[in-house]
């Protein structure tokens, strides 16, 4: 399938290109980058030597009538502005936020600007019906990276916890903040240091997590979320706690999660005693999960690790594209991470 990547100069765009270079069905014919148009792809992504001799183009030069599949890897607000230029028969996966939220007021509160509407939410493992819904559509809203780790960490437990009292602290690598030059993301500022950001429940992924969990549980979900910037390039480690509805053992919760994800190729519920580790997932589309019950406070504790550029962005985008194109869900995706 003739494929275009719009926004190929960013970290997520670069990871998309890396994965697509060996995809058995998706052939990249156009890669756009606004400020880098005309530059060699390898000058921005020197690791992508399979793209030697090719350059970024301006999106205005792409003839979308010749394209069958488009990946959008743009800042929020930019995807919706481009959609009118893409024929309706072209399949699209948007890695940005523009089509994730169903509630226009929530969009206004967390993002601002005009609400573009909502596409099917591209989190296949959220439920069996979600995967079916994705496969029946041609345009998918890829979830946010934090939203992926949090929603998949909570989903199997929605019937045993108070979904209105969920507390999350999650640390992400610096690639999650984008590629633009910022003082607070420079090596001297980040190395050897941890810092919270978007403090006080203002992170833009909160509404999509609450939307997904409310739909899944049938009850109003509320998340108190504190993100942390970690001194590493990529990876997310999420810790979730929630009040239990009634006493339950760690083994019983582990059995619940294991059963929920037993047929999910990209989700591993680790054996008790083994903890998720971000380095184990670098470069993969996998999710690692561990659970425990804090009997002292009657709260469930869930630990989740993903690669924010893999399952949190580019890997999941390809997984969704595979679904809407009717091919094997894992085509072109790595299950194993690089490790330490």
- Annotate the chain with three-state secondary structure: CEEEEECCCCHHHHHHHHHHCCCCCCEEEEEECCCCCCCEHHHHCCCCHHHCCCECECHHHCCHHHCCEEEECCCCCCHHHHHHHCCCCCEEEECCCCCCCCCHHHHHHHCCCCCCCCCEECCHHHCHHHHHHHHCCCEEECCCHHHHHHHHHHHHHCCCEEEEEEEEEEEECHHHHCCCCCHHHCHHHHCCCCEECCCCCCCCCHHHHHHHHHHHHCCCCCEEEEEEECCCCCCEEEEEEEEECCCCCHHHHHHHHHHHCCCCCCEEECCCCCCCCHHHHCCCCCEEEEEEEECCCCEEEEEEEECCCHHHHHHHHHHHHHHHCCCCCCCCCCCCCCCC
Pairing of strands 287-294, 299-306: antiparallel
330: Cα within 13 Å, side-chain hemisphere: 11
- Tokens representing 124? 């296949």
Tokens at residue 247, please? 């006493």
Catalytic residue among 59, 145, 170, 240: 145
Place of tokens 């003082």: 183
Nearest to 100, CA basis, from 238, 256, 204? 204
Rg of the chain on CA atoms, in Å: 19
The pair of structure tokens assigned to 127 is 């439920």
* φ/ψ of residue 301, rounded to 5: -120, 130
Q: Give yes or no: 325 in active site.
A: no
Q: Which residues are catalytic?
A: 145
């Amino acid at each position: 399938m003739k494929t275009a990547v719009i926004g190929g100069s960013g970290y997520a765009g670069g990871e998309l290109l890396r994965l697509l270079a060996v995809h058995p069905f998706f052939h990249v014919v156009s890669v756009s980058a606004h400020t880098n148009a005309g530059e060699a792809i390898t000058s921005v992504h020197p690791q992508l030597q399979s793209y030697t001799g090719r350059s970024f183009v301006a999106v205005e030069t792409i003839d979308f009538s010749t394209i069958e599949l488009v990946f959008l890897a743009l800042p929020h607000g930019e995807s919706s502005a481009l959609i009118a230029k893409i024929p309706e028969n072209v399949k699209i996966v948007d890695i940005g936020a523009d089509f994730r939220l169903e509630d226009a007021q929530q969009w206004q509160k967390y993002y601002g600007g005009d609400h573009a509407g909502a596409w099917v939410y591209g989190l296949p493992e959220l439920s069996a019906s979600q995967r079916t819904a994705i496969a029946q559509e041609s345009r998918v809203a890829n979830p946010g990276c934090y939203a992926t780790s949090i929603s998949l960490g909570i989903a199997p437990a929605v019937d045993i916890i108070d979904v209105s009292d969920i507390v999350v602290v999650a640390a992400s690598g610096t690639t999650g903040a984008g590629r633009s030059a910022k003082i607070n993301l420079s090596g001297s500022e980040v190395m050897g240091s941890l810092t919270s950001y978007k403090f006080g429940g203002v992170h833009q992924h909160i509404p999509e997590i609450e939307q997904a969990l409310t739909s899944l549980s049938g009850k109003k979900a509320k998340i108190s979320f504190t993100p942390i910037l970690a001194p590493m390039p990529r990876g997310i480690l999420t810790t979730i706690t929630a009040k239990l509805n009634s006493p339950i053992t760690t083994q019983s919760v582990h059995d619940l999660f294991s059963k929920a994800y037993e047929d999910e190729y990209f989700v591993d519920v680790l054996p008790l005693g083994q903890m998720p580790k971000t380095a184990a997932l670098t470069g993969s589309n996998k999710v690692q999960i561990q659970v425990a019950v804090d009997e002292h406070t009657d709260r469930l504790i869930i630990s989740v690790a993903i690669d924010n550029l893999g399952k949190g962005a580019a890997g999941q985008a390809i997984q969704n594209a595979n679904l809407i194109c009717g091919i094997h869900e894992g085509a072109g995706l790595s299950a194993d991470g690089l490790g330490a």
